[in-house]
A and B are shown apart, each in its own frame.
Chain A
């Protein structure tokens, strides 16, 4: 099964995502709650797919999206904002709206993995 990086600043949500993904058989490479941590993990960790909250402690997740894009790693945005508020250059990226269902999260992660 694929390994996932979770980038989400709200601890309870991060934990729920982690649990959902584990239950579905994914491995978790790590959980990052800030842009800096996420960038460090993108550099250091091995993973095939990432789940990325759009707003990290008031900052845009754009730099993380750019780093993932540069690495060629597929990712899925999570956001309570609509699609028009995705970072520029990523307006058509896969997006899962908050709040979300367990099964939608799993199928969305599988979806971006398949598109790769």
Chain B
């Protein structure tokens, strides 16, 4: 950004010429009057900036300069020393940006710690910072505070309408001394500002602990950001990683935006040319000390929105969780070109930590709410299933057997539920489901009376419930009346997917052998519902239940997509919310 001039420093510094130039006589009277006015301002004006402004206006006046200013050394966000124009008057009154110490004539003056006159300093330092306006002559005096140089007071002539003389130097030295005193006040004011910032942080911490409305808390943080950064605007955004290819930022709260700006920035993408968009891309703090000269904003719609709402400078700081996840963004904006100082950012980063914690808390609360809602839904659904089982069982069984049969069916239902919970409701391995339902038949399995054969298949949650219930009924029937009711009957359970290609089918068989001869039951009860009707209905399946002479044979032929937990949404019973 900064085109350095090629002329060596020695040719720019012309302080020695002052001795040779004719000088106007000292005007002690005007000087005294000016100093008296400044003293009064210092005593009565509430702000240091106000006093320094009066000071530079006096310098402009007394020395008939085109521009005048006070540059104060501060540390920027990266810890580099920069000069900040704490006050300026004349043609450069608008310019308050910061410039790195080594790129500034004020830096040279502080290094030497003596007044300097320079001719066209832009020939050496370049004019990127101060704009295209040439500087025919500039006179600098160091401002010392407790023996240490802390900044400069300067005056400039943009055209050679006159030359500075020894009287200008005398007046400037006198005003520079005054500025040193004012700086002491400035220090005090900074301490007051720090105290104020610390108090704001304390307030925000207290607010966050209370049971306040979340929107109110966002607003409190935004207001504290304005106070701590001494900015005119502030905003807080939350990061939604699932929106768009690289996530988007949603505006949670702001201070000072016009309706247009708030609308334009409701959602911000990483491709946006705002500081928050660029910060989202880079994953670090981004500062635009002057949006008009900011390279990434040049010629963009975002720049128009900025200027439209009155923003000239902005910074955005990413909000990051304690385990490093991006949660959102907190930004502050100024109506004039500005770069936050290290002191400001130190306090601001504490606020950003609190803002990040608040967002994290919000996300956790949302997740818990969704989880509870989902749990409540599932509980009600399973209760309704239990109700249906009770209804059917009551139909079939005589009152003395009801309790036993009902309890056994609930145990079967619970076995499937256990597996679903273990898998976070993501589906159940068919072999696991078999094992779980056969657990109470352990010794039969061990003796090889029940064999399972089939590939690893993951059932969708609803399918696991339906097939689990069918298996439970088949097993209960086999133990009571079928192949497992004598000492040498067997059951072979097999499953497979066929064909492998398009529109595959899920095929499953339960085949009993060597049991006592079976007969179909006189009346179709819950067993028939669970093993045939439910399976047919749930999967659009073809189901047969044969009471063959050698034992019961149950076969299922269903579309694999309806049974398996694979991609296809239709096979899933999991609602959109929760359990992610």
A associates with B: yes
Alpha-carbon gap, A40 to B541, bound state (A) = 18
Query: By the criterion CB–CB under 8 Å, are A10 and B385 in contact?
Result: yes
What residues of chain A lie closer than 8 Å to B108, measured between beta carbons?
none
B384 proximal to A (CB < 8 A):
yes
Query: By the criterion CB–CB under 8 Å, are A80 and B538 in contact?
Result: no
Query: By the criterion CB–CB under 8 Å, are B377 and A12 in contact?
Result: no
Residue from the list A9, A19, A31, A99 in contact with B380, Cβ < 8 A: A99
Query: By the criterion CB–CB under 8 Å, are B570 and A57 in contact?
Result: yes
Known contacts A15-B392, A57-B462: does B570 contact A80 (CB below 8 Å)?
Answer: no
What residues of chain A lie closer than 8 Å to B373, measured between beta carbons?
81, 85
CB-nearest residue of chain B relative to A33?
B537
Query: By the criterion CB–CB under 8 Å, are B575 and A80 in contact?
Result: no
B261 proximal to A (CB < 8 A):
no
A14 proximal to B (CB < 8 A):
yes
Alpha-carbon gap, A85 to B369, bound state (A) = 13
User: B409 CB to closest chain A CB, in angstroms?
Assistant: 10
The residue in B381, B383, B391, B466 that gathers the most chain A C-beta atoms within 10 A of its C-beta is B381
Alpha-carbon gap, A80 to B573, bound state (A) = 14
What residues of chain A lie closer than 8 Å to B388, measured between beta carbons?
10, 12-13, 15-16
Query: By the criterion CB–CB under 8 Å, are A9 and B384 in contact?
Result: no
Query: In A96-116, which residues have CB < 8 Å from any B CB?
Result: 97-100
Known contacts A11-B538, A81-B373: does B392 contact A58 (CB below 8 Å)?
Answer: no
Known contacts A55-B575, A58-B575: does B384 contact A11 (CB below 8 Å)?
Answer: no
Query: By the criterion CB–CB under 8 Å, are B392 and A16 in contact?
Result: yes
B363-394 vs A, Cβ < 8 Å mask (1 yes, 0 no): 00000000001001111110111111101100
Total inter-chain residue pairs, C-beta < 8 Å: 78
Known contacts A34-B570, A55-B575: does B383 contact A15 (CB below 8 Å)?
Answer: no
Alpha-carbon gap, A64 to B574, bound state (A) = 19
Query: By the criterion CB–CB under 8 Å, are B538 and A98 in contact?
Result: no
User: B379 CB to closest chain A CB, in angstroms?
Assistant: 8
CB-nearest residue of chain A relative to B391?
A16
Query: By the criterion CB–CB under 8 Å, are B533 and A99 in contact?
Result: no
B516-538 vs A, Cβ < 8 Å mask (1 yes, 0 no): 00000000000001100111011
A59 proximal to B (CB < 8 A):
yes
What residues of chain B lie closer than 8 Å to A98, measured between beta carbons?
380-381, 383-384
Known contacts A15-B392, A16-B392, A31-B537: does B569 contact A59 (CB below 8 Å)?
Answer: yes
Query: By the criterion CB–CB under 8 Å, are A58 and B380 in contact?
Result: no
Apart from the given pairs A11-B534, A15-B529, 11 other A-B contacts in the complex at a CB distance below 8 Å: A10-B462, A11-B529, A12-B385, A12-B469, A14-B537, A58-B575, A80-B378, A80-B380, A81-B376, A81-B377, A85-B373
Q: What 6 A-B pairs have minimum CB-CB distances, sorted nearest first?
A: A80-B380, A11-B534, A12-B388, A16-B388, A99-B384, A98-B384
